[in-house]
Structure 1
Amino acid sequence: MEILIIGIGGIAGALSRYAIGKYLSRIAFLSFPTATFLINVTGSFFLGLLAMNMVQHPTGGLIEKYGFQVGFLGAYTTFSTFTYESIRLIEEGEWMIFFLYTAGSTIAGLVACLIGISLKFI
């Protein structure tokens, strides 16, 4: 049952990432990888929120743990694209955008996760 739940969540996460990326690619700022940045930051927020909910309610369901945390967020967020885009920025000589992207992604992701953890509303 866990595999099926992860698979359904993964499909939803991958399709969400694709749709958001496609939409944001039309309104992207310069060569800054806006879509990956926003996807990874929002994914960090939701993982923090869901992880804290699992701590508060350890008997949480399979759908939350496997469907959302492993499946959806695993397919939605993307470290590999982040690293690839970072290397491309270096190759293109976009050093300022590279530093903004890598430092900004790390800091914003940590802050977003911390905000999610601190909400504790469920």
Structure 2
Amino acid sequence: MNYLAVGIGGMAGSIIRYLISLYSINLWSGSFPYGTFTANMCGCFILGLLTGLNEKKEMIPKTIMLGLGTGMIGSLTTFSAFSVETVQLYESSSIYIAGLYVLLSAVFGLLLAWSGFYIGQKGSEKVVVNK
């Protein structure tokens, strides 16, 4: 069952990533890789949120968490594309944009992951389970 959950989540995440890339091409121009940046930042927040929700008590069953975290977020976000895009920016003499991409990705990725985690933890504390 876990493999199926990861597979379905992975399929959903890769489709979402593809759609983000398509729409980012139409919205923004220039050499900055907005599609990958947007997908990675969304993934940081969502994974932080899901992890925060499950930190103290299991709000989301393990199989669903695997499907969402490992499957969907794992295929939505991509370190390999981030790395290759950074190298391509550097090689095309866009050194400042490459540096900005790395800096923004690290700073905002960590802030969004922390924010999501914090919100998730606070949300899980407010849930009352009736037995």
Unaligned runs of 5+ in 2: 125-131
- 1:92 CA drift (Å): 0.4
Q: Which moved more, 1:82-91 or 1:62-71?
A: 62-71
- 1:108 CA drift (Å): 0.5
| Corresponding residue of 1:64 | 64
Aligned pair 1:100/2:126, yes or no?
A: no
Q: 1:109 to 1:87 in 2, by over 3 A?
A: same
TM-score, length of structure 1 as denominator length: 0.94
Rounded Cα–Cα distance in structure 2 between residues aligned with 1:29 and 1:14: 23
| Corresponding residue of 1:46 | 46
- 1:85 CA drift (Å): 0.2
CA offsets, 1:83-104, max 9 Å, x none? 0000000110001111110010
Q: Which structure has the bigger radius of gyration? A: 2
Rounded Cα–Cα distance in structure 2 between residues aligned with 1:89 and 1:59: 42
| Corresponding residue of 1:24 | 24
TM-score, length of structure 2 as denominator length: 0.88
Aligned length: 122
Q: Which moved more, 1:56-65 or 1:85-94?
A: 56-65
Q: 1:59 to 1:38 in 2, by over 3 A?
A: closer
